Structure 1
Amino acid sequence: MAQSKLHIAMNPWFAFGHLNAFLHLSNLIAARGHRISFLTPKKAQAKLEDFNNHPDLIKFIPLTVPHVEGLPVGAETTNDVPDHQGSLIMTAMDKTRPEVEAILKDLKPDVVFFDFTYWLPEVTKQLGIKSLQYCITSASTVAYILVRSSTKLDEGQQLTEDELMKPPADFPPSSTITLHRHEARALSFTTHRTYGEGISFHERIVYALRDADGYGFRSCREIEGTYCDYIENHFKKPSILFGPTIPQLPTTPLDENKAKWLGQFKPGSVVFCAFGSECVMEKNNFQELLLGIELTGLPFFIGLKPPSGTETIDEALPEGFKERVQGRGIVEGGWIQQLQIMAHPSVGCFISHGGLSSVTEALVNNTQLVIIPQRGDQYIIARLMSGDMKVAVEVEMREEDGWYSKENVCTTVKSVMDEGNETGKQIRANKLKLKEFLLDENLESTYLDSALDRLKETLLK
């Protein structure tokens, strides 16, 4: 088996963040001559085909997504519905089980990579196929929340807010991860909400962890090795690091007008703020963030979605803000070229919500990193980067409700932008070391080869 080529089936959650992450891994694996069968909704296939770098080895298997009452006709992915209907898409995905089972019975792959379909390990066991839960979140998030959630679930209980605020008693002693009260409350709500028919999000992920033959993470030992070991020691199953997903240099240049605007400022002087394509802030938090950035006196480029209760960015701006910052600040509400902007020489600080992809993009660029986590695994990633790795700083928030003041935003940004500030110096030095490591030309291939070897030696022996 060590020298043989694998046949791997991919069954990712019907959201493009997951579909794209699984396809990225598929491309890397197929580059080594392994065969991939990629299960995807029919309409999503058309959007993925252009990113298939090895069509001779990666074959899309279209799935018929059953209609579920409450969903628009033809809805197949989370991209087709508002956030609150994501659970119904999950119900529809669960209803593909008979078709998935028939496909796998016919294909007979060596292993199936999956994430949210908690029932898949039961299917694969019956067919004599191995399963690996490939998590696109951080290993530290799984270790902090889901390992002990599995124990509580076995006891018929749920993790309380107080328990979520503190790490488990046997957690890696090197970890600095803890949660604030408002973060624990938000995570408790998120994990225990219904996600699919008759099952909570927490149960869905824990059952998948419990029943899978192994786990995969898009990370590396140098960042999350202790957490990966912790997961493996708890579940007594292989926990495999496939290496971090390093963003590729964009082939499309930065918009000419934006490049010209950024080019008028000196290198490393511009503050760039973006919270991803899904984050919608409350209006008061949105305005306080803008006022804090204004208070720094630095030039800035902000790309955020209009806050809740508003239709456009202009109507959400603080009173008089647009006039006061004219010439040194831009706020936009649509899609932005995040990687191209971050790579511009004038940009010296990136304010992020702590999403894993955005943080990774910042780590391989020269920008200082400030994090204001908004939800879910972003709380854990923020502690990982600011505490364990010391490559970022967080804006101080109020313990009970997560409120931050414009003064806190300003002070934090200036601490990393001021070259004489000791915190800024330490963050810059640590981040430079990590950047050099992540951009090592052999990193990706070394980790992937090691992961595939371990997959064969453990799951497929």
Structure 2
Amino acid sequence: MARQGQAATSLGRGDAEDDAGGTKAAHFVFVPLREQGHLIPAVDTALLLATHGAICTIVGPPSTAALVRRTVEPAQRSGLAVRLVEFPLDYAQSGLPEGTDDGDSIPPMHVWSYYRAMALLCEPIESYLRAHAPYPTCVVSDFIHPWTTELAANLGVPRLSFFSMCTFGLLCQHNLERFNAWDGVKNPNEPVVVPGLEKRFVVTRAQAPGFFRGIPIPCWEEFADYIERARAEADGVIVNTVLELEPEYVAGYAAARKMKVWTVGPVSTYHQSRTTLASTLASRGLRASAIDPDECHQWLDSKAPGSVVYVSFGSISQADAKQVVELGLGLEASGHPFIWVVKNADEYDEAVRGFLGELEARVAGRGLLIRGWAPQLLILSHDAVGGFVTHCGWNSTLEAVVAGLPVVTWPHFTDQFLNEKLAVEVLGIGVSVGITEPLTYQAVKKEIVVGRGVVEAAVRSVMGGGEDAEERRRRARALAAEARAAAQVGGSSHANVLDLVKRFQPGGARGAAV
């Protein structure tokens, strides 16, 4: 393990230095958020930039480094100039119980203390970067780290905000706040039209509350304001999306923010371009797979092309006992082969665990239950998969697009509702199960259950025949071709990666004007 002030690997001179010992390559310092949906694409973006000649230093606490080391170390061994540098958190000063950040996610009651602990890393990170060549040329920070404004200012370098979400959602949320759309709206489930867009989209405050808005604790509202100021003061924006998927919303967000937006997605293509494709896809993620990747691949090989539906709700949300039963029975009744990722299956009571075992026996050969982390990118990339039941996290949504898959949309919280609208109402590849209120992080605990009949109908709608289903598949295939082309030489995302590498070289034109 690298200690504070010590990188996990050192950089040789090579292409990074000129004959006088000065740096001639762009040096990006990534400050990612540790949550999976933010961390994985941030690291992938760093690896993409390094592939094209940049130096990238990824900084964070030991718990974050542990999550991404299995992704970063193979890139280092391949010769990419990527460093992973650890800085211990000050648990005592931040009020964070020691070791709280060692799990898959930060418990909600400790999130505020964790953000404070991260902000305390500003000084040690700055000291390290000043003491270890090459000097940084740009800070790329997750937008939830507003303290990096101080880090970049002290270093005298530009700062770019990193977003692991679509610009459609960013623009909707921005316009709702900019035009005060929630003024006078007392019911969180009262629909309003998103202002400032050519097409009509209706949302509720429960679906689009704003980043850290709506939490009835003063410190969170202040934090939301701090984040907004930092976003407004950034020197540009990097987004894991594809220009061709949402061109009007990329342009709209750039105009609204008055800053350049670099669309660099899908950043997962870094792994899909590796020579050892299967092993690379299987290793992408924060934890080891709960199933042997070869076993999973062999199971899929035994199924007809486009016949399997994949079901996963991400790393944060977990269905309650009643929903687990209804979902399982709906998948069984659909008649389609399926892979179902059951998060934290061992935490359910004996009755639910028993149900899962009985279901597994009944659908043996047709259904595969994965209890824990799944090699999602490997699964979605397999020809046997024909549809995806998803919580609409942006990583999953974009991975479905790249794989050319229609989706059953089942949002759980925040931007997932806006991602659903993009999939269903803009891209035309989704079928909704009808969730209209948050299932996770509810202000007031409320039981919301999607019945087995709805699950069965949604799966059949996406996986079955008929003109509508075929049109969704056609749209999904067309979007996949556009997304893949964007990442190839000559594509929009590839060009943006090259522009970043060139623009933030020492002496480069760093201005971020639109």
Shift of 1:418: 2.1
What's the counterpart of residue 433 of structure 2? Answer: 395
- Distance in 2, Cα, partners of 1:382 & 1:445: 26
Specify the SS of the correspondent of 1:251.
Answer: helix
Q: Is the 8 A contact 1:246 1:438 kept in 2?
A: no
- Equivalent positions of 1:50-199 (< 5 A) are 50-52=70-72, 53-54=75-76, 57-68=81-92, 71-76=96-101, 79=104, 81-103=106-128, 108-115=135-142, 116-149=144-177, 165-171=191-197, 173-174=198-199, 177-179=201-203, 183-184=207-208, 187=209, 191-193=213-215
Q: Which runs of 5+ in 2 are unaligned?
A: 1-22, 283-291, 439-445
Alignment partner, residue 356 of structure 1: 394
CA contact (8 A) 1:149 1:158 kept: no
Match of 2:61 among 36, 41, 44: 41
For 1:78 and 1:306, how far apart are their aligned partners in 2?
A: 12
Deviations 1:127-180 (A, max 9, x none): 432111111222222211145436759x9x898666984343212x14x54335
Give the structure 2 partner of residue 271 of structure 1: 309
Q: 1:32 deviation in Å?
A: 2.5
Task: Report the equivalent of 1:299.
Answer: 337
Match of 1:251 among 247, 267, 278: 278
Measured at CA, do residues 458 and 279 of structure 1 come closer, stay the same or move farther in structure 2, by a change above 3 Å?
same
Number of aligned pairs? Answer: 452
Q: Name whichever of 425-434 and 129-138 sits farther off.
A: 129-138
1: CA distance between counterparts of 2:437 and 2:39? 35
2:248 to 211, 219, 226: 226
Q: Is the 8 A contact 2:207 2:415 kept in 1?
A: no
Paired amino acid for 1:335: W
CA distance in 2, matches of 1:80, 1:151: 34
CA–CA separation in structure 2 for the residues paired with 1:152 and 1:264? 54
State, as a whole percentage, how many aligned pairs show the same letter.
Answer: 22
Aligned residue among 43, 59, 72 for 1:23: 43
Q: Is the 8 A contact 1:8 1:112 kept in 2?
A: yes
Q: Aligned in 2, Cα 1:406/1:314: closer, same or farther, shift over 3 Å? A: closer
C-alpha separation between the residues in 2 aligned to 1:143 and 1:161? 23
Conserved 8 A contact 1:65-1:93: yes
Report how far residue 452 of structure 1 moved. 4.5
C-alpha distance after superposition, 1:271-293 (max 9, x if no partner): 22111232211223332222222
1:62 is displaced (CA, Å) by 2.8
Change over 3 Å in CA distance of 1:289–1:75 after alignment to 2: closer
Could you say if the C-alpha distance between residues 151 and 87 of structure 1 is closer, same or farther in structure 2, counting changes exceeding 3 Å?
farther
Deviation at 1:446, TM superposition (A): 2.7
* Separation of aligned partners in 2, 1:287 and 1:13: 33
- Partner of 2:49, secondary structure, is helix
Higher relative contact order by CA 8 Å / sep ≥ 6: 1 or 2?
2
Q: Is the 8 A contact 2:31 2:141 kept in 1?
A: yes
Greater shift after overlay, 62-71 or 127-136? 62-71
TM-score (norm 2): 0.75
2:411/2:420 contact within 8 Å kept? yes
Question: Counterpart of 2:250 in structure 1: which amino acid?
Answer: C
Counterpart residue identity of residue 157, structure 2: I
Which stretch shifts more, 60-69 or 77-86? 77-86
The structural deviation recorded for 1:432 is 0.9
CA shift for structure 1 position 388: 0.6
Contact 2:189/2:205 (<8 A) preserved:
no
TM superposition score normalised by structure 1: 0.83
Q: What CA distance in whole angstroms lies between the structure 1 residues aligned with 2:351 and 2:314?
A: 15
Letter in 2 for 1:436: A
AA partner of residue 124 (structure 1): A
Structure 1 SS opposite 2:202: coil
The 10-residue stretch of structure 1 (448-457 or 435-444) with the greater mean CA deviation from structure 2: 448-457
Q: CA deviation at 1:307?
A: 7.2
- C-alpha change, 1:262 and 1:20, in structure 2 (3 Å) is closer
Q: Once structures 1 and 2 are overlaid, which stretch shifts more, 400-409 or 83-92?
A: 400-409
